[in-house]
Structure 1
Amino acid sequence: MSRDASISLDWADGSYDFSLKWGELALLQEATDTGPYVIFQRLHSGAWRIQDLSNIIRLGLIGGGMTPTDALAKTRAYVENRPPLESLPFAVAILSAGLLGAPDEPLGEQEAPSLTDQ
């Protein structure tokens, strides 16, 4: 994950970039008729809908640079034609990156200073 809402995952038949930036989140909201954070809560509570999974992954692929046609084909083949629970961890990771991002580097000091280095 990175600060720009993108994440690279080994998914389906390869390694893909996913990104849910503002525009993709707005499309997700429109497609599911609910806000992204409500979907985020549904994913974590187990109250998700299958459309949540397919829309997150499809729009994440588009945001990651895939054409809409290719993203739809991948989603149909590897989400809609597979058991939903296979897609759940990917949808969680993609939406989490879109909503929360992640720091590129950890905050704070990684090691305590050494008295012998002075």
Structure 2
Amino acid sequence: MSRDASITLTWADGDFKFRLGWGELEELQEKTDAGPQVVLQRLYAGTWRVEDISNTIRLALIGGGMSPEEAVKKVRFYVEQRPPAESVPIALAVLSAGLIGAPDEKLGELEAPSRKRGKSSSRTAKSDLAPSTGLVQR
């Protein structure tokens, strides 16, 4: 994740950049007839609607730089033709990144100061995992 709320994840047939900026969040709100935080809560609680999943992923691919046409193709093939629950972790990760963002630091930068002081650190930065999904970001 980065300060611009983008996240790169291995999904479908490769590594993709996902980003939900203000415009994509507005469209998500229109398409799902719910605020982005409501959609996020539905995804976490398991009370999601299928359009919550497909629209979140499609709009995040577009926000990440993919053409709308290619994003629709990817979602139709890798989301809409698969069991819906299979795509929930991706939707959760990208929507969480869009709403919450992430710190500027990378894992290596977080550990460097403690090594300089002579301490060993086995901390794992939470920003290296997609929220509650176990998906490792690239």
Distance in 2 (CA, whole Å) between partners of 1:16 and 1:92 is 15
Q: 1:82, CA displacement in angstroms?
A: 0.5
Distance in 2 (CA, whole Å) between partners of 1:90 and 1:80 is 14
For 1:111, the equivalent position in structure 2 comes to: 114
- Look at both structures and tell me which one has the larger radius of gyration over its CA atoms: 1
Q: 1:87, CA displacement in angstroms?
A: 0.3
- The C-alpha deviation readout for 1:4-52, integer Å capped at 9, x for no partner, is 1100010001111100000000000010111000001111111111110
Matching of residues 71-110 of structure 1 within 5 Å: 71-105=71-105, 110=113
Q: 1:104, CA displacement in angstroms?
A: 2.4
For 1:37, the equivalent position in structure 2 comes to: 37
Gaps of 5+ in 1: none
Q: 1:110, CA displacement in angstroms?
A: 4.0
Is residue 2:6 matched to residue 1:3?
A: no
When normalised by structure 1's length, the TM-score is: 0.90
Gaps of 5+ in 2: 119-138
Which amino acid is the alignment partner of residue 99 of structure 1? L
For 1:26, the equivalent position in structure 2 comes to: 26
Secondary structure, counterpart of 1:111 in structure 2 = helix
Aligned length in residues: 114
For 2:46, the equivalent position in structure 1 comes to: 46
Identical-residue share of aligned pairs (%): 62
Distance in 2 (CA, whole Å) between partners of 1:24 and 1:69 is 15
Which amino acid is the alignment partner of residue 62 of structure 1? I
RMSD between aligned alpha carbons?
1.7
